[in-house]
Amino acid sequence: MSTPSEIYSPGLEGVIAGETGVSTTTGGLRYRGYPAVELAEKSTFDEVAHLLLHGELPTRTQLADFNKRLATAQKLPSVLSDLLKKLPKDAVPMDVLRTGVSILAHYDPELNDSSRAANLRKAERLLAQIPLIIAEYYRATKSLPVVAPKPELGFAANQMYMVSGKAPSAADAKAFDVSLILYAEHEFNASTFTARVVCSTESDLHASITAAIGALKGRLHGGANEKVMDLLLSTGGPDKAEAWIRSAIARKEKVMGFGHRVYKTGDVRARILKDYAKQAAERAGTTKWETAAETIEKVLETEKNLFPNLDWPAGRLYHAMGLEVPLYTPFFVASRVTGWSAHVIEQLENNRIIRPRSRYTGPEEKHVMDIGTRG
């Protein structure tokens, strides 16, 4: 039985579970005070990564030093590289990435040092190493050799280069870079909260990030971007999109890429990335899927008051750039590790173990009977 003082909010909706100076969605998404719109327009992911980890946008010298540290850390233990070649080629890439980060913990010399300085160094190493795990496993599934990183390309272009073996066009690199900026941080989302819960027990950064990857895998969180093209392809094209979505609504199906716990009138990140998805489709000759997407958006807004979230244009953008679907959520990880790490560091600076209560719905008090009398 609940008491009058208990307040239950399913999914913790609307509950303030902590304080953060990393980002806010109030009054528009901002990272450490900077509007995400401005960061997407005027900075690179490399700069935003520095902002999230170190608290401020870098000077030219600071950015050069930051990129130099990342370049130095761009290597994997040989044990991990060998394992990536031996894992089943049909393994789920998010599971591979989760395992990879866990293995990296065994080789990090500062694993058990949870000071701010050590956690920053570990976060930078993970930022450098995660793209290598993504690329090395992807190429292993294709029986292709590993492509050595080219740090001079910049974080986004280098990730694409290591996956495909060729440097992306300037337009594709910019679009991918913007997507990483928009994926980098988002307050107390499920995976970030998971990371904070784990580190609140005084566990280590790698354990927190491993747990966060597990949370992000789910289709109601990061995995939604992988379902976008499946949805669009199932419509049969722009001429059939309206009938398809109306039928889906009638069947009360959940449409991946729409709706958000925080944004009730639309996700500003989706509006930013939509233009890049459209331009990428024009370059690739896949504009029919943008037309189908537009139809679905209009119907859902009119009929259900539902608006796209970031995953809706991101899935289309990555498809137009020729990136394979199993890579989409790992790319999210490559970006969001910056936000996760910033939150872990912040949690530990003023830590209290996160341990909420539950509302009991089981039977009333019972008493144990002798085994011979139980019927």
Residues 6+ apart with CB under 8 A from 181: 36, 39, 40, 43, 44, 45, 48, 335
CA distance 311 to 273: 10
Q: Please tell me the distance from the alpha carbon of residue 225 to that of residue 183, in angstroms, as a whole number.
A: 11
Q: State how far the Cα of 220 lies from the Cα of 352, in Å rounded to an integer.
A: 28
Q: What DSSP letter does each residue of 175-216 carry, written as one string? A: HHHHHHHHHS--SS-HHHHHHHHHHHTT--HHHHHHHHHHHH
3-state secondary structure of 310: coil
Per the annotation, the verdict on 186 as an active-site residue is no
The rounded distance, in Å, linking the Cα atoms of 225 and 29 is 20
DSSP for 50-77, written as a single string: HHHHHSSPPPHHHHHHHHHHHHHT----
Check 260, 267, 319, 343 and give the catalytic one.
Answer: 260
Match 């990428």 to its residue by tokens.
280
Q: Per the residue annotation, which of 204, 311, 319, 343 is the catalytic one?
A: 311
Both tokens of 306, joined, read: 């539902």
Q: Compute the Cα dihedral for 327, 332, 334, 340 and give only its sign.
A: negative
What residue type is assigned to position 308 of the chain?
P
> Does 367 qualify as catalytic in the annotation?
no
Residue 210, Ramachandran bin (φ over 0: left; ψ between -120 and 50: alpha; else beta):
alpha
Q: How is residue 139 written in tokens?
A: 């190429």
User: Active-site residue numbers?
Assistant: 221, 260, 311
